[in-house]
Amino acid sequence: MIKWEGVMPAVTTKFTSDDKLDLVMFEKNIKAQIEAGVNGIILGGTLGEASTLTPDEKEVLIKTTLSIVDGKIPVIINIAEQSTKDAIAVAKHAEATGANGLMLLPPMRYKATDFETVTYFKAIANSTSLPIMIYNNPIDYKIEVTLDMFEEMMVCKNIEAIKESTRDITNIIRLKNRFGDRYKIFTGVDTLGLESTVIGADGWVAGLVCAYPAETVAVYKLAKAGKMKEALEIYRWFMPLLELDISAQLVQNIKLAEVATGIGTENVRAPRLPLQGAERERVLNIINTAMKNRPTLPEYKNL
């Protein structure tokens, strides 16, 4: 049972300088997320560099995260596999390991038809009792999950939520008009976080939250409480940072921001490399300017 609401970070994976898992820094970050008031942890997404992790590393991360959160909030595992068989195996293993839910991407590296995509999602859903969020991101993954496809998936009761990343914010309203509360809707685009919340999104799968957990949760909670002036003040400050999420180098960008706030390192796994030259200076300038003007947050946790 997952209460699909609030801010759920797609967390980064921390590495040491010699390319091992950095579980000390990972724990520090997860604890900062919990302290800020996030509603769940999503492991193994693009931001988590999942495609570069070994099965053993993924298992260590799941078990470590479950141990750190200690039942306070759900731990959700992202599935982005090449085949239906592999995706089902990951789902079964995640459930056996104690994960609380799954987030599913369409088939990777093959532009499946609508029918193939729905069949893929249904097969995974029918293989597990875990609650599921469907990640709809046609910009990056070239497959759009349409409203008609979501209609077909209603037969799978454990498909409960949608990460909406089409960048067309009005899609949230279309989904709500068609399905009511059958699906809980999360925005997956940081630069639409406040707007999405205002027009009815149930939650926010966020990226810059990895470095700025309190600010992200504050924007969401203030907006939900109708305190728009306070929410907008933080959001305006936040926007140059949030734009670092909509980039091919989002992992490097967000890890640099985590360094600035003391809850991460910039170590990435090859083929990714730390930012270089003018682009590095540009991103650091955005981060340093934000840190100099970091807002004092109002009391938001009990809104």
| Residue 111 included in any domain | yes
Q: What is the pLDDT of residue 110?
A: 84
pLDDT one-digit tens code per residue, 227-246: 999 999 999 999 999 999 99
Report how far residue 205's alpha carbon sits from residue 184's, in angstroms, rounded to the nearest whole number: 12
Q: Which residues pair with 78 in a beta bridge?
A: 103
Q: What is the pLDDT of residue 203?
A: 98
Give the count of domains, the chain.
Answer: 1
Q: Is the dihedral of CA 268, 194, 220, 159 positive or negative?
A: negative
| Residue 263 included in any domain | no
Q: What is the pLDDT of residue 108?
A: 80
Host domain of residue 161: 6-213
Q: What is the pLDDT of residue 140?
A: 85
pTM over 0.75: yes
CA angle 193, 247, 39 (to 5 degrees): 35
- Scan for tokens 């999104």, then name that residue: 201
| Residue 98 included in any domain | yes
* CB neighbourhood size of 24 (10 A): 9
Mean pLDDT by 10 residues, the chain (303 residues): 96 98 98 98 93 92 97 96 94 96 91 95 98 94 95 98 96 98 97 98 98 98 98 98 95 98 98 97 98 97 93
Q: What is the pLDDT of residue 1?
A: 87
Question: Residue 171 sits in a domain of what CATH number?
Answer: 3.20.20.70
Q: What is the pLDDT of residue 137?
A: 92
Nearest to 276 by CA among 169, 221, 268: 268
| Residue 267 included in any domain | no
CA angle 88, 42, 239 (to 5 degrees): 135
Hey, is 157 helix, strand or coil?
coil
| Residue 236 included in any domain | no
| Residue 275 included in any domain | no
Nearest to 210 by CA among 16, 76, 77, 33: 33
Cα–Cα distance list, 11 to 65, 153, 232 (Å): 11, 27, 24
| Residue 280 included in any domain | no
pLDDT one-digit tens code per residue, 169-228: 999 999 999 999 999 999 999 999 999 999 999 999 999 999 999 999 999 999 999 999
| Residue 146 included in any domain | yes
DSSP string of 18-61, one letter each residue: TSSB-HHHHHHHHHHHHHHT-S-EEESSTTTTGGG--HHHHHHH
Phi, psi of 82 (to 5 degrees): -85, -30
